[in-house]
Chains A and B, each alone.
Chain A
């Protein structure tokens, strides 16, 4: 199996987790990053211009 050693993760996230807490909220840094990325992606999807479509007249 050593020829597949390349398949081992480069940065395995196996160390003890990091957590953020704020009042009643406790969240792992990993989950927090996922949620922030989700919100950011949503906002970018709302604002980013959609390419490839026939541009309609900008100034009617």
Chain B
């Protein structure tokens, strides 16, 4: 095979594109620009860590099926882990959002990073909601019968029936987590590709 033939292979082209956009030292850098020096920067990573704990505790809850936690004190404890890690997850994510807003971290071709962040936020809200209606207790009875009106009013209720507990559980433990994790991965890869946004120039605030 000639070199040009190899160069034209899909595999080669994909590898070269990936390596060009995201070489290992960009994917896992060992330094950061000197301006990266604030506690605000830790909230993205904290959100990711909380997402990890949410998923791990959710997997533990899944082990013995959806009714287990009502009858077992171990199950109930695992449910507590799941609930509190979700609270921490949203807590960290919202602070992360505020921080990125006040840094205008979409500048310099980072709009897609911001937008994947927002979509992840909305997906997380849907994931949490389906979790609440999957509890199979009074809370889920009340939340689902209330929420149906909002969702039905948009027409979506025809396909996405919040009173269908099986459908909600499937969305909660399969479809939405896959979406949230995939979006998070994309979001963080975009950050690595673009690098952390530089500060505003001192002059821009004077002239504008």
Contact = CB atoms under 8 A, between A and B. Distances in A.
Q: Is chain B found bound to chain A in the same assembly?
A: yes
Main secondary structure of the interface of B (DSSP, over half): helix
Interface string A15-43: 00000000000000000001001100110
A45 B73 CA distance: 37
Interface residues of A, number: 19
Contact of B73 (A4, A41, A46, A50): A4
B99 A42 contact: yes
Contacts of B91: 34, 37-38, 41
Contacts of A9: 80
Nearest to B43: A45
Interface stretch (B33-41, B175-183, B190-198): B33-41
Contact of B77 (A7, A37, A38, A41): A7
B94 A7 contact: no
B3 interface: no
A5 interface: yes
A21 B72 CA distance: 37
Interface in B50-95: 72-74, 76-77, 80, 87, 91, 94-95
B102 to A, nearest CB: 8
B142 interface: no
Main secondary structure of the interface of A (DSSP, over half): helix
Contact of A34 (B34, B74, B87, B98): B87
A4 B74 contact: yes
A5 to B, nearest CB: 7
Contacts of B39: 44-46, 48, 50
A1 B72 contact: yes
A5 B42 CA distance: 36
Interface of B: 34, 37-40, 42-43, 72-74, 76-77, 80, 87, 91, 94-95, 98-99
